Amino acid sequence: QIANNPISINCPQHQNLDESLIVGEHCLKEFFSANSNLCPIELHSNCQYAKSKLTQRYIHELNITCPLQFEQGLEASNKNGIICTFNGKIKELNDHLNNSCPFNQSECWFKSFGCNHKCLKSKLETHLISNIKFHFDLVIKSFNGLKQNLGLLQEEAKQLKLQNEKLKLELQSKHNKDGEHFVSFKETLNKLLIEIEKLKKDTKSKMKTIQTKDDENSKMKETIQRHLQIIQVKEKQVLEKEDEIKKMQKQYQEEKMKMNSFMETIQTNFAEKEKQTLIHHEQLIKKLKEKNDKLTQGYENTIQQNDPIKKAQTQFDDRISSARRLIKSLNGHSGLVLSVTYSSFDDGRFLCSGSADKTIRVWDVKTATQMKILKGHLAYVNCVKFSPYHYYRDRRLLICSASDDKTIQFWDFETEKSIQLLSGHSHSIRSIQFSPFNNGRYLCFGSADDTICLRDVETYQVLYSMKGHTGGIFCVEFSPSKSNNSNTNTGIIGGNGYTICSGSSDKSIRLWDVETSKQLICFQGHENSVKSVKYSSYEPGMNERSGDTICSGSWDKTVRLWDVRSKKQIQIFNGHEKNVRLVLIICHVQV
């Protein structure tokens, strides 16, 4: 005891003693415990003591033989014939007993698996070899136990996950049915989540125990932990997405309510303003009609006093004046009417219109009733035309339309269905025209992407594009047919001698050769976008300009005439106070 840990007693009561009072630490503690902490020298309280390092160093330097060899020597005989020759210092004894003493008892390598056998180191190998099957069975038994525990833990985690999902579904269902129970459900869910967290902690603790037993089991646990983390992340993401969806639904409902309120206000204001405008217009029309009747009567009285030539002119003016009177009104569109066209078949019975309300409507001119309404475009319908090619080939009435939705569509008059949609354009289509040759087989159209294209209506394929304008195309027009031109049916597409005229936002008017798609002439002079162009009709026996004059209308408030032969402007008409959107030529070259 003294050699292991010497303690020096230093009580003041023993200062007169000459000898050193040295005692082992363990012995001193046992004495204190048995004698109420009284000093072992004179049995007084408050015993003072301290570790004696000097004594300990001195003792550690003393020589000693192996105590186990000493014990063997006390026995009658040494059956094993083993001798320990250790004779060294006390401080070296522990290392000798733990590592090199032949009498040291070694535990079996498989103690952790259940083998409690102890023997001399020299006999440990014999024990391991002779009991190899027993040790193997212990290892297998331990592994199976760990495997079984792992399976139970995995099944427990799976059941917990299923329970969690089931509770989430039940909570969501109850939340949808009755919002008042949401708080209690949430509290229940929180409790379950706390229990799940506790179970997860227990699972982690058990997994740590398994990890100390086997590296493979450790890898399995890490995999399970990763999956649990992924599940937690996914659950968190699902909750975040649910919160986002709820916020978006709330915002949508708020915006919808605001928009509904705004639209109701607009509709109310619009209806009131429209009503006031109509009343105002009716009053103006009534006043203008009264004034016009008075002026007409006075003008007729004056004409009666003039020569026959002026009377004939008056008759022509009367015809023009009668054309200005409102004959019929066709109501139905809810937006601006952007295009109208007559059918050249069935004695001009049908009128077709395209509108900013995205619809196409067909009207019976005689009865002033709407016959068809065609829906399918997603934006303004800029232009409508009856297809002569389908009528002459199949006796089938088809309508072609162009829209701001970047498409051209062909509609069947009978079924009111779109039978062909031509897409692929990058900008809106503003104008379309069928060719005056080959029974209208070729369709020309101008786009806001600065190009003019020619399509074969039979195959719906683009033949070529004409590029040269630096702004969007507002209008296109084929030149009129010349009956004395024997070469009109020659060429690649049968359009020899024909040209296409185009007007653009780049303020120019350009002529293109139909067969070669090359630019022939560029007229410049307008100060704003050109909205409408028209050729003068070809009249045999008329002057040289017959069929070679182009009329144009522009946002610069002017109407101009251009001569194709001289490539110059020959007339300008001023007087309009606002944009000129459409021009027509009647009576040869008169506008």
Collect all residues with Cβ–Cβ distance below 8 Å to 273 and sequence separation of at least 6.
Answer: none
Nearest partner of 480 among 492, 462, 498, judged by Cα? 498
Residues 452 and 556 in one domain: yes
Nearest partner of 295 among 287, 306, 283, 305, judged by Cα? 287
For residue 49, the cross-strand partners are 9
**pTM recorded for the entire structure:** 0.47
CATH code of the domain covering residue 488: 2.130.10.10
Would you state the pLDDT for residue 305? 55
Residues 210 and 91 in one domain: no
Residues 90 and 182 in one domain: no
Residue 589 inside a domain? The answer is: no
Residues 236 and 102 in one domain: no
Would you state the pLDDT for residue 322? 58
Residues 139 and 49 in one domain: no
- Core vs surface per residue 493-522: b (16+ CB within 10 A) or e: bbbbbbbbbbbbbbbbbbbbbbeebeeebe
Residue 402 inside a domain? The answer is: no
Separation between Cα atoms, residue 418 and residue 378, nearest integer Å: 13
Would you state the pLDDT for residue 228? 85
Q: Contact, 385 vs 432, CB < 8 A? A: yes
| CA distance readout (Å), 510 to 419, 537, 559 | 33, 18, 16
Nearest partner of 153 among 106, 189, 207, judged by Cα? 207
Torsion 302-303-304-308 (CA) sign: positive
Collect all residues with Cβ–Cβ distance below 8 Å to 161 and sequence separation of at least 6.
Answer: 231
What residues make up the domain containing 465? 425-573
Residue 355 inside a domain? The answer is: no
- Which residue among 248, 266, 284 closes a domain? 266
Q: Classify 105 as helix, strand or coil.
A: strand
How far does Cα 116 stand from its chain's mean position? 68
CB under 8 A, 24+ apart: contacts of 350-356: 350/386, 350/397, 352/384, 352/385, 352/386, 352/399, 353/384, 354/381, 354/382, 354/383, 354/384, 354/401, 355/380, 355/381, 356/380, 356/381
For residue 568, the cross-strand partners are 563
Would you state the pLDDT for residue 590? 42
The separation between the first and the last C-alpha atoms of the chain, rounded to the nearest angstrom, is 135
Separation between Cα atoms, residue 266 and residue 288, nearest integer Å: 32
**pLDDT under 70: residue ranges of the chain:** 1-4, 74-80, 175, 178-182, 185, 214, 217, 267, 271, 296-324, 482-492, 494, 538-546, 587-591
Residues 568 and 437 in one domain: yes
Nearest-Å Rg of the Cα atoms of the chain is 55
| Amino acid type, 254 | E
Residues 170 and 250 in one domain: yes
Collect all residues with Cβ–Cβ distance below 8 Å to 343 and sequence separation of at least 6.
Answer: 349, 350, 351, 352, 386, 397
Would you state the pLDDT for residue 217? 65
Residue 386 inside a domain? The answer is: no
Domains in the chain, number: 3
Residues 16 and 50 in one domain: yes
DSSP 8-state code for residue 5: S
Would you state the pLDDT for residue 79? 60
Residues 78 and 212 in one domain: no
Residues 61 and 170 in one domain: no
Q: Classify 191 as helix, strand or coil.
A: helix
Q: Which two tokens stand for residue 188?
A: 């229940």
Q: Contact, 80 vs 90, CB < 8 A? A: no
Nearest partner of 468 among 498, 436, 428, 500, judged by Cα? 500
Separation between Cα atoms, residue 502 and residue 508, nearest integer Å: 8
- Which residue among 108, 142, 162 closes a domain? 108
Would you state the pLDDT for residue 317? 60
Q: Classify 372 as helix, strand or coil.
A: strand
Q: Contact, 199 vs 206, CB < 8 A? A: no
Residue 299 inside a domain? The answer is: no
Pinpoint the alpha helices (H) of 324-466. Answer: 388-394
Separation between Cα atoms, residue 446 and residue 502, nearest integer Å: 8
Q: How open is the CA angle 534-539-543, to the nearest 5 degrees?
A: 95
- Which residue among 197, 231, 266 closes a domain? 266
Would you state the pLDDT for residue 398? 94
Residue 99 inside a domain? The answer is: yes
Residues 439 and 551 in one domain: yes
Residues 187 and 72 in one domain: no
Residue 582 inside a domain? The answer is: no
Q: Which two tokens stand for residue 470?
A: 């630096």
Separation between Cα atoms, residue 452 and residue 466, nearest integer Å: 5
Q: Contact, 562 vs 524, CB < 8 A? A: no
Q: Which residue has the tokens 């009111």?
A: 416
Residue 308 inside a domain? The answer is: no
Q: Contact, 435 vs 457, CB < 8 A? A: no
